[in-house]
Amino acid sequence: MSTRHQVKLVREGQYVAEVEVELIEEPEGWAPYLGVEDARKLDAVRVALREGDVEKASEQSKVFRLMPIAV
């Protein structure tokens, strides 16, 4: 079993968060997959953004605001 780091994006409304997670790789099964703690971290960031609590979401991720541009 080996692991590698990856950044997952979580989008809720006008916000996007970059969350660093560790993917677990195995030669068999459903690899790569997230560990339980990383899955909970993604869910916590998603819930915080959904509730508009950017400060809480930014404790575990980098948070960005999406802005439409006129072309």
Checking DSSP bridges between strand 62-65 and strand 33-34, what pairing results, if any? unpaired
How does the average pLDDT of the chain come out, rounded? 94
Burial status of residue 37 (CB atoms within 10 A of its CB: 0-12, 13-18, 19 or more): exposed
Question: What is the model's pTM?
Answer: 0.87
The answer on pLDDT for 30 being more than 90 is no
Mean pLDDT within 30-48: 94
Q: How far is 54 from 65, CA to CA, in rounded Å?
A: 10
pLDDT of residue 1: 79
Q: Which residues pair with 19 in a beta bridge?
A: 8
pLDDT (tens digit per residue) in 49-71? 999 999 999 999 999 999 999 98
pLDDT of residue 28: 83
Burial status of residue 47 (CB atoms within 10 A of its CB: 0-12, 13-18, 19 or more): middle
